[in-house]
Amino acid sequence: MKSFLTFFTFLCMLQQINSQELPYYEIPEAPANYTAGTVAGRMIDGLGFRYYWATEGLTEKDLAYKPGEKTRSILDTADHILVLSIMTLSALEKTDMVFPKQGSLSFKEMRKMTLENFKKSSDILKKSKDLSEYVMKIKRGNGEVAEYPFWNQLNGPIADAIWHVGQIVSFRRSAGNPLPKGVSLLTGKVRK
Mean pLDDT of the residues in the chain: 91
Helix, strand, coil tally for the chain in percent (to 5): 60, 5, 35
Write out pLDDT tens, residues 82-108.
999 999 999 999 999 999 998 899 999
Half-sphere exposure of 22 (CA within 13 A, CB side): 24
The SS3 call for residue 115 is helix
Write out pLDDT tens, residues 120-143.
999 999 999 999 999 999 988 888
Write out pLDDT tens, residues 60-77.
999 999 999 999 999 999
Query: What are the structural domain ranges in the chain?
Result: 2-190
pLDDT of residue 140: 87
pLDDT of residue 141: 85
pLDDT of residue 5: 42
pLDDT of residue 12: 44
Superfamily of domain 2-190 in CATH is dinb family like domain (1.20.120.450)
List, in order, residues 6 or more apart from 167 with CB less than 8 Å away. Answer: 72, 77
- Band (6; pLDDT cuts 50, 70, 90): very low
How far apart are the C-alpha atoms of 87 and 98, rounded to whole Å?
A: 9
Cβ atoms within 10 Å of 15's Cβ, excluding its own: 11
